[in-house]
């Protein structure tokens, strides 16, 4: 990536006047934070309730070798996942709106929730690199199973044994740690070079190989990062809209003159409440941000824990 000299205002103007017509999105967990999806690691989150399974570390629940031996933690997590009715966020809506305005090239999402589709994005414009919940298969022989039936077993908290080999446990078509990414990912990465504008939303781009996608972005293409925290990209090569993602996206759509529905934020984690307003984004420097945080979180120790949680959320 080369240095990009366009300002936020210039990018907005180019999108508005349709001089930018091939927008690409690289997204992660942060865009679904306010959707109502339960937070895995919040103090009362699922992980605290999974302690009974003696997981060595939280991510173990997503490891395929662990799943093959012990499916219950994953099934319990999925029960919670299904019992919530997550709603798409402003970030999902924005991507669908870019599509409706015929300015979308493609979306690469690290999320398995599929909320992009709920917001109106067609499947052919989306690659969920970590898989999805549209299908299920045997963890041993790979035989395809009905996701509806999988959900029924999850609801009952009974392990769904493969109907073909009778031995493996059925799991959704998400990518576990230790498995290859969805093959659609490699097949579609060529599209990145064709983008005339790239949005990186809700991800700190730390996870390989997803983070390698930025190397494929063409020179002089504006890159807009919409992420609460820092992103692991070379500095001054992108426009960073910090703080709350929904606030930033709603401000962006307002700046573009686009109508958008008021989307309820179902699950703002407690530590979000009372934080940023959209006005702040323009001049948010590090010091100001720090002071804001201090105001909100009187207890410094708590702040440290929270920041750690945010880092962890992006695994």
Question: What are the catalytic residues?
Answer: 130
d(CA 131, CA 10): 35
Say whether residue 212 binds Zn ion (CB under 5 A).
Answer: no
DSSP 219-262: TT--EEEE-SS--SS-TTSSEEE-S-HHHHHHHHHHHHT-----
| 147 versus 239: smaller Cβ distance to Zn ion | 147
Say whether residue 127 binds Zn ion (CB under 5 A).
Answer: no
CB of 141 to Zn ion, least distance (A): 3
Say whether residue 140 binds Zn ion (CB under 5 A).
Answer: yes
Binding segment toward Zn ion, per CB under 5 A, in 24-32, 68-76, 124-132, 140-148: 140-148
Tracing tokens 């730390």 back to the chain, one arrives at 206
Say whether residue 137 binds Zn ion (CB under 5 A).
Answer: no
Give one word for 131, left, alpha or beta, with left for phi > 0 and alpha for psi -120 to 50. left
Sequence-ordered list of residues with C-beta below 8 angstroms from that of 251, at least 6 positions apart, any chain: 278, 281
Binding segment toward Zn ion, per CB under 5 A, in 105-113, 122-130, 164-172, 245-253: 164-172
Pairing of strands 170-174, 144-145: unpaired
d(CA 33, CA 271): 12
Tracing tokens 């820092």 back to the chain, one arrives at 230
d(CA 294, CA 288): 10
CB of 213 to Zn ion, least distance (A): 33
* Interface residue with Zn ion, options 64, 123, 141, 158 (CB under 5 A): 141
CB of 164 to Zn ion, least distance (A): 5
Which residue in 126, 115, 110, 125 sits closest to 175, CA to CA? 110
Binding segment toward Zn ion, per CB under 5 A, in 72-80, 97-105, 138-146, 148-156: 138-146
3-state secondary structure (DSSP) of residue 76: helix
CB of 114 to Zn ion, least distance (A): 25
CB of 165 to Zn ion, least distance (A): 3
| 100 versus 167: smaller Cβ distance to Zn ion | 167
26, 106 Cβ separation under 8 angstroms: no
Say whether residue 36 binds Zn ion (CB under 5 A).
Answer: no
* Interface residue with Zn ion, options 8, 53, 143, 260 (CB under 5 A): 143
Query: Cβ–Cβ contacts within 10 Å for residue 288, how many?
Result: 11
Say whether residue 165 binds Zn ion (CB under 5 A).
Answer: yes
Say whether residue 170 binds Zn ion (CB under 5 A).
Answer: no
Binding segment toward Zn ion, per CB under 5 A, in 165-173, 192-200, 230-238, 254-262: 165-173
Say whether residue 168 binds Zn ion (CB under 5 A).
Answer: yes
Kindly list the residues in this chain that would bind Zn ion in the complex (CB under 5 A): 138, 140-141, 143, 162, 164-165, 168
């Amino acid at each position: 990536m080369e240095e990009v000299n366009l300002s936020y205002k210039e990018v907005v103007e180019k999108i508005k006047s349709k001089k930018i017509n091939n927008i690409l999105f690289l997204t992660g967990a942060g865009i679904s934070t306010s959707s109502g999806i339960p937070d895995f690691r919040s103090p009362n989150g699922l992980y605290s309730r999974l302690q009974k399974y003696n997981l060595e570390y939280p991510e173990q629940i997503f490891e395929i070798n662990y799943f093959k031996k012990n499916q219950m933690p994953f099934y319990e997590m999925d029960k919670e996942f299904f019992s919530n009715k997550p709603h798409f966020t402003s970030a999902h809506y924005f991507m669908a709106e870019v599509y409706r305005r015929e300015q979308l090239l493609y979306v690469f999402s690290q999320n398995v929730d599929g909320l992009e589709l709920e917001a109106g994005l067609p499947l052919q414009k989306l690659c969920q690199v970590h898989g999805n919940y549209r299908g299920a298969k045997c963890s041993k022989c790979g035989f395809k199973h009905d996701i509806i039936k999988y959900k029924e077993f999850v609801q009952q908290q009974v392990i769904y044994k493969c109907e073909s080999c009778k031995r493996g446990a059925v799991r959704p078509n998400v990518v576990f740690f230790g498995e290859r990414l969805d093959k659609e990912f490699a097949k579609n990465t060529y599209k990145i070079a064709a983008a005339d504008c790239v949005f990186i939303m809700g991800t700190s781009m730390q996870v390989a190989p997803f983070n390698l996608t930025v190397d494929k972005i063409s020179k002089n293409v504006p890159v807009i990062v919409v992420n609460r925290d820092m992103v692991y990209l070379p500095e001054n090569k992108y426009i960073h809209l910090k703080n709350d993602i929904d606030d930033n996206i709603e401000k962006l759509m307002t700046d573009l003159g686009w109508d958008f529905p008021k989307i309820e934020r179902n699950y703002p984690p407690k530590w979000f409440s009372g934080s940023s307003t959209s006005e702040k984004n323009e001049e948010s420097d590090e010091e100001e941000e720090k002071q804001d945080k201090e105001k909100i979180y009187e207890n410094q120790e708590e702040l440290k824990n929270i920041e750690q949680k945010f880092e962890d959320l992006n695994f």
